[in-house]
Chains A and B, each alone.
Chain A
């Protein structure tokens, strides 16, 4: 008889492998349907270019794309871990990003202080915006899924209004996009190009966003909070078994509010890598939809910081493939199909394997119970 732990590990490995294979199969069918070869597609996805600058640029794009996705995944995961579906990450980060970008453009302080203040403003706004559905839930019992979705519409439209109205900066003639006033240079987050230069590689053209460091730090802090503190335990307990958590003295209302606000505060950071690292303003071209992608990233990462990091990198890797795929005459929508099928398959595989192992666990327990009882009778 195999030890239980080994058996479970094998089961999960098998589940993950099957999930990835199935996702590849589905994507291949889609690629074939689009009239292209899956092998060419795979080759294009791993084609990072022939020269050092091209490879460096490709890696930088993946990392720069992964940073906001990672933060978005973390924000969503905190709610998910206590069965709180914060669909409002999208609205929280948009509203936080525009307010932070505008506030940051209104004063000039030494770099570290200025950047810290912008980060604090973003977290405050995101947290406050998430406070609304939290209060609605604990006081009036409003389902957070509905309220956050509705608040997304308000946030998106409010941000669009602010960027062309009260928060609009100067616009050069002939420019159609609007944006908040440009941040002073002290608020520009220094890039991490030195990481490449250290190894004698050329600096990436677009610049590796320094916010990567903040994201890594954030991931470590969230991991510590969730796994090593009483708060983290209470979050987990509330998610796994709310009545049991309540019975053992966890204040459910307080947990809903604090988890939701924490989720919103982290969501507030999603837009900052782009604003502090590249655009230096919130404009009409601001990347939208990261909050929704965060849901997929959190699901794929099993709501764990390390898993979310891998999921974000995987999404960044797939998103980068968009251009090389088109160079190989394959439609870029293939990327979205691959992303969707991987998330779907991983979720299904996890559900199937967890059910299988619960059944095995029950059987094992029953067997053990049986043998001990027989022993007692014999005695």
Chain B
């Protein structure tokens, strides 16, 4: 009895809130002179008032000190160099509102719009057909519409260089790889890393651990899991662990710091992006995936009138991927790394993209 009344009261209060919501939105509709002109106006307005770029992050959002932050660096550069107005949005933790974020950007007059991460593939395809006058780009996924540009990277090539550096520097002849989610994209990192390490020492031992199975994206934001996985590798004798796990990489660095061993960062130059001093010194190098270059080049091409429908592939040749040298930990092996790089660029080494 009591419970049911309480329930009713909560309901009434909440219902009141919803009514207020309805009233508020009604008011908004009334004050607008031309309610139906949204998509038409929004696609023309930005060209007149300057560049307005919208960007939606993958799960994890800005501040992952890695993949998403790299995309933001490209966006920031466009803001500075091209005088663009920018807006970046992060999705809900379960990623259920990806499509909604893109729609809201489109409706607010942003053009072009960039979706960061392969998870945006399907949503971009849908939203791009709803707004055929706007241009879209998706990082890590192939183009799937006439107004969609796919921004792809040769992660296996950069990871190959990381593998070369790791095998050269390893004293125990034992390395580790922590992948965020076990899908084909992260397997490219693993494949390149293994091939690179084995090209230096064919008998090198590499522990492989994926934090979550395919389809469960929590592996990109689970530093606790990353830490446990890396701790195990260091205990088993690995002295350098390479991670391709977004946010979870922080856990890998913590494990490396605790074990007094080293780790390899990913996507951004993590030696520069990680703030904690004790974590900085364990980051031997980072496999750079220049999402910032991809995003910026796409925006520049858009400004030049480029239309979607194709993929832009960023590999070693165009410095779309690479290896960072901040901190000077790998200065003694850069010659070997550069040699491998040259061989990949001239085609005498073909890096596998599947382990």
The interface of chain A, by Cβ under 8 A from chain B, is 8-9, 12-13, 15-17, 19-20, 46-55, 57-59, 61, 65, 156-157, 159-161, 163-164, 172-178, 202, 205-206, 279, 283-290, 300-302, 304, 306-307, 310-311, 313-314, 317, 319-320, 322-324, 326-327, 332, 335-336, 346, 350, 353-354, 357
Contact = CB atoms under 8 A, between A and B. Distances in A.
Contact of B87 (A59, A327, A350): A327
B32 interface: yes
Contact of B11 (A52, A306, A326): A306
A317 B18 contact: yes
Interface stretch (B213-221, B268-276, B337-345): B213-221
A310 B214 contact: no
Interface residues of B, number: 72
Contacts of B36: 51-53, 202
B18 to A, nearest CB: 6
A279 B36 CA distance: 28
Contacts of A346: 10
In the complex, the 8 A-B pairs of residues with the closest C-beta atoms, listed nearest first: A174-B142, A48-B25, A302-B7, A160-B213, A284-B215, A46-B24, A176-B118, A12-B6
Nearest to A282: B215
Q: Does more than half of chain B's interface fall in helix, strand or loop, or is it mixed?
A: helix
Contacts of A57: 103, 107
Contact of A279 (B6, B25, B122, B218): B122
B214 A160 contact: yes
B29 A16 contact: no
A48 B184 contact: no
Contact of A160 (B35, B39, B215): B215
Contact of A357 (B2, B96, B98, B215): B2
Contacts of B214: 160, 163-164, 178, 284
Contacts, number: 208
A306 B5 CA distance: 12
A304 B103 CA distance: 34
B104 interface: yes
B135 interface: no
Given A48-B21, A163-B214, 10 more contacts: A12-B9, A17-B13, A50-B31, A51-B34, A164-B215, A283-B215, A285-B119, A326-B89, A332-B90, A354-B2
A319 B152 CA distance: 31
Interface in B115-144: 118-119, 121-122, 130, 140-142, 144
A55 B29 contact: yes
Nearest to A313: B18
Contact of B24 (A9, A47, A290, A304): A47
B95 A287 contact: yes
A58 B25 contact: yes
A51 B100 contact: no
A125 B99 CA distance: 29
A174 B9 CA distance: 53
Nearest to B10: A16
A304 to B, nearest CB: 5
Nearest to A281: B122
A346 B3 CA distance: 12
B349 interface: no
Contacts of A288: 94, 216, 218
